[in-house]
Amino acid sequence: MPSVSTAYAHSILSYLFSLGFDERQLLASSNSKLPDIAQSRVSMSEYISLLNMGAKLTQNSLFGFELGQHIQPKDYGVLGYLVESCENLSQAINALIRFDALVADIGMTKVQQDKSCTRIEWIAKSDDGKQMILRNTTAWVATVSKIIGKACKADTITFAFPLNADEKAKLEAWFKCEVIGSANANAIIFPQDLLHIPFSSENKAVFRALMQVSENELLECEGHEEIKDRVIALLQAHTTLKDCNQQRIAKALYISPRTLQRKLKVHGTHFQQLLTEERKARLDDLLRTHSIADTADLLGFQEQSSFTHAFKKWFSETPLAYQKKLMRKDY
């Protein structure tokens, strides 16, 4: 069942208390009891109810946005301090993909890159997610801004829900970029060079220790592994599939290739199968704009002949014949 850590949910109550609301008001507004903070996890439905209660009490349709600005490392638990100890944003994103479910198993993160920008897309596990998505997006930007300062600047922020003119203006003033409502996805789009700006808080010793703690926590959290989805997300995040082998992906997930192989087997798949699916997903776009030799290279094949052999197994025809069909369709 989708859920969040109690600390993540409790930070909502703490914020409301700081605004002057008391427990009696919270109980009256929620029309039910508040989540039991003695438990280790709070269900996603309870978490969303807390956020919606905050929006109702404050009469603020951007309550999640206001809350996200006040995010603290302790709200993320171990993951917050792990992110701060990373070398750069690229390493931090990999850590988030790996361990985000420890804090909030309420959505799926996808990362896509091209030559100039990176796109982080977040797919919520609930349709009633406006406040949750606002908090998630704002907290992400606020956390990175605290670490790398003014260099943290997005190109565009998109939300899948509608925004009125006032909401859009407030969000653009804080994010300092274009904000689009009623978009196809919830996403943060930022320049590629942000990925490699060194974190001033980097601490390799702390990073290694927190990685181990996070790994142990993840192993204890039944139902939060989703290793298949994380491998797919990492494959999709690479602009090319050159050198995108099992060893490299395992390293990005901070596990051994053997452990990755074992975990994928539980899901009834293996790394080569996921790589093949990603290669097939990119085929049409690449063959429309690249030669067969370049397509083979961008898909991570050592030789064009290896690509041709694999292609025949997939489609029972040559890449050249397939490419000609694509071109005829386009015209």
Asked whether residue 123 falls in the same domain as residue 231, the answer is: no
Rounded to whole angstroms, the Cα distance separating 54 from 131 reads 9
User: Tens digits of per-residue pLDDT, 123-145?
Assistant: 898 888 899 999 999 988 988 88
Beta strands in 254-312 (DSSP E): none
* Identity at 182, one-letter amino acid code: S
Q: What are 187-234's pLDDT values in tens digits? A: 999 999 898 888 876 667 766 766 666 666 666 554 434 678 778 877
Are the beta carbons of 13 and 27 closer than 8 angstroms?
no
Per-residue pLDDT, 84: 77
Shared domain for 170 and 247, answered yes or no, is: no
- Domain of 172 in residue numbering reads as 76-196
How far, in Å, are 5, 13, 42, 90 from residue 221 at the CA level? 11, 25, 14, 25
Based on the fold, state whether residues 172 and 281 are members of the same structural domain. no
CATH number at 237 reads: 1.10.10.60
Looking at the fold, whether 189 and 96 belong to one and the same domain comes out as yes
Edge-to-edge order in the sheet of strand 3-5: 41-43, 3-5, 104-105
Does residue 233 sit in the same domain as residue 189? no
64, 83: one domain: no
**Res 97: pLDDT:** 76
Answer yes or no: is 23 within a domain.
yes
Query: Within a domain: residue 115?
Result: yes
Query: Do 191 and 237 fall within a single domain?
Result: no
CA–CA separation, 69 vs 47, rounded Å?
Answer: 18
Closest to 276 measured CA to CA, from 255, 249, 245: 245
CB atoms within 10 A of CB 313: 9
Evaluate if residue 4 carries a pLDDT over 90. Answer: no
Count how many domains the chain has.
Answer: 3
91 belongs to a structural domain: yes
Is 219 inside any structural domain?
Answer: no
In a domain, 206, yes or no: no
Task: Give the CA count within 13 Å in the CB-facing half-sphere of 114.
Answer: 5
